[in-house]
Amino acid sequence: MSASPSGSHGSRTGVWLIGARGSVATTVVAGCAAVTAGLHPPTGMVTETPDFADTGLPALSSLVFGGHDTVDCPLPKRAEALADGGVLPPGLPSAVGAELAAADREIRPGGPLPGDTRDEDELIAAFAADITDFVRRSGADRAVVVNVASTEPAPTGRTLPASSLYAAAALRAGCPYVNFTPSTGLHHPELAARAAAAGLPYAGRDGKTGQTLLRSVLGPMFAQRALTVRAWSGTNLLGGGDGAALADPAAAAAKNAGKERVLADTLGAPVEGEVHIDDVPALGDWKTAWDHIAFDGFLGARMFLQTTWQGCDSALAAPLVLDLARLAARAQERGLSGPLSELGFYFKDPVGDGPSSLAGQYAELLRFAERLRDGADGRGAQR
């Protein structure tokens, strides 16, 4: 299953996490350390499978972490809370305490907080300076900025939401950018020209970790078998910060748009049915997603498929975040720029054009690995 890709020894790669004290970020930092130390296999990391051997990805041991957040809770303490909730294995927070503390020292205050008098450009400049300081201080060749913060409401008007301020800061700091959330990030009209001019690779939007992952394989199944889906309904129950954020209808709207797009794309047309996201604090970081699919078979026979997915969101997201940081870093090293549409495998609402079935997206990802591997011949850089 696992094959350690040949990393550039001695060099370092920064991973700058927006929402650096959240569940996903904490799991990313703790998990990278745990896998590097051999405490756990790299389950869930596609970049550790044999297909990614010799693709020049930065080694896990070469990754250094920092980021922005608006809360104060130290990473080691956050990790303990996650272990109490069953998200991290008991004992892991202390086993990787040094790495958590090291990342914690590289977390800078995010914003804007209430009362902040800085204007958009000042905020972007401050955030960009935080990132470039981190790169310089850590001796990294480069850093990838990854948004793993709570979903923000869909923006109204021309004001840049926080996620877009951070994205703009990534551009200004010369960093590849990955948006693992449904928040706006680089998808703001005010940033389009800057993104195009920056010559940087970027990827997103909204990591595909559970219900939508399933939909991206089940939708194609119905389509390929010429079965008529009549209604596809879903309910998500989740606690943690994400549950509370998505209980806000405006935030949920952003997320659901991605889910419905996957169905419409794989089935060939929009389909009846709603998606609910309920905040159920009792579930903590564990998410339960129920899908009910009513479909017609031959001669109008009424049939049903139901799925129940019970997963830990942070544990599902973290290995993908590590994958994406490595892929985006290597993409920049290889001279690629613009939307990395080949990474649709990871997202509900991928940038660029690409297939919507998981199988098609996986094939694209393997082709992307080939491009990364062909480092010496310069072909990949002609993009």
- Stretch 164-223 residues interacting with a copy of itself (CB under 8 A): 213-214, 217-218, 220-221
Q: Under the criterion CB under 8 A, does residue 225 sit at the interface with a copy of itself?
A: yes
- Distance in Å, CB of 146 to a copy of itself, minimum: 16
Q: Which of 15, 20, 34, 148 binds a copy of itself (CB under 8 A)?
A: 34
Q: Which of 193, 197, 301, 376 binds a copy of itself (CB under 8 A)?
A: 301
Task: Kindly list the distances between the CA atom of residue 168 and the CA atoms of 93, 162, 188, 235, in Å, as whole numbers in the listed order.
Answer: 33, 10, 10, 34
Question: What are the residues whose beta carbons fall under 8 Å from the beta carbon of 313, sequence distance 6 or more?
Answer: 23, 24, 209, 210, 238, 240, 242, 285, 286, 287
- Distance in Å, CB of 102 to a copy of itself, minimum: 19
**Among the residue ranges 25-33, 115-123, 184-192, 370-378, the one whose residues contact a copy of itself (CB under 8 A):** 25-33
- Distance in Å, CB of 127 to a copy of itself, minimum: 28
**Among the residue ranges 60-68, 86-94, 150-158, 254-262, the one whose residues contact a copy of itself (CB under 8 A):** 86-94
Q: What distance in Å separates the CA atoms of residue 202 and residue 329, rounded to the nearest whole number?
A: 10
- Distance in Å, CB of 241 to a copy of itself, minimum: 17
Look up tokens 């990802």; give the residue.
365
Q: What distance in Å separates the CA atoms of residue 53 and residue 4, rounded to the nearest whole number?
A: 7
* Count of residues touching a copy of itself (by CB under 8 A): 79
Backbone φ, ψ for residue 145 (5° rounding): -95, 125
Choose between 160 and 263: whose C-beta lies nearer to a copy of itself: 263
Q: Under the criterion CB under 8 A, does residue 48 sit at the interface with a copy of itself?
A: yes
| Rounded (10°) angle between helices 75-84 and 23-36 | 90
Closest CA to 22 of 99, 91, 107: 107
Site pattern 353..372 for a copy of itself (x: CB under 8 A): ----xxxx-x----------
Task: Kindly list the distances between the CA atom of residue 225 and the CA atoms of 213, 268, 296, 305, in Å, as whole numbers in the listed order.
Answer: 19, 13, 11, 14
Question: For residue 198, what are its two tokens?
Answer: 């920056």
Look up tokens 């990395």; give the residue.
340
- Distance in Å, CB of 345 to a copy of itself, minimum: 8
Q: Which of 66, 76, 204, 319 binds a copy of itself (CB under 8 A)?
A: 319
- Distance in Å, CB of 130 to a copy of itself, minimum: 28
Q: Using CB under 8 A, which residues numbered 258 to 297 contact a copy of itself?
A: 268, 272-274, 276, 278, 280-283, 288, 290, 292, 294, 296-297
- Strand 286-296 with 228-238, pairing: antiparallel
Q: Which of 308, 353, 377, 382 binds a copy of itself (CB under 8 A)?
A: 308
Q: What distance in Å separates the CA atoms of residue 379 and residue 383, rounded to the nearest whole number?
A: 8
Q: Under the criterion CB under 8 A, does residue 316 sit at the interface with a copy of itself?
A: yes
Q: Under the criterion CB under 8 A, does residue 94 sit at the interface with a copy of itself?
A: no
Q: Under the criterion CB under 8 A, does residue 303 sit at the interface with a copy of itself?
A: yes
**Residue 17 in contact with residue 28, Cβ under 8 Å?**
yes
**Residue 243 in contact with residue 278, Cβ under 8 Å?**
yes
**Residue 340 in contact with residue 328, Cβ under 8 Å?**
yes
Choose between 82 and 372: whose C-beta lies nearer to a copy of itself: 82
Q: Under the criterion CB under 8 A, does residue 224 sit at the interface with a copy of itself?
A: yes
Choose between 125 and 253: whose C-beta lies nearer to a copy of itself: 253
Q: Under the criterion CB under 8 A, does residue 43 sit at the interface with a copy of itself?
A: yes
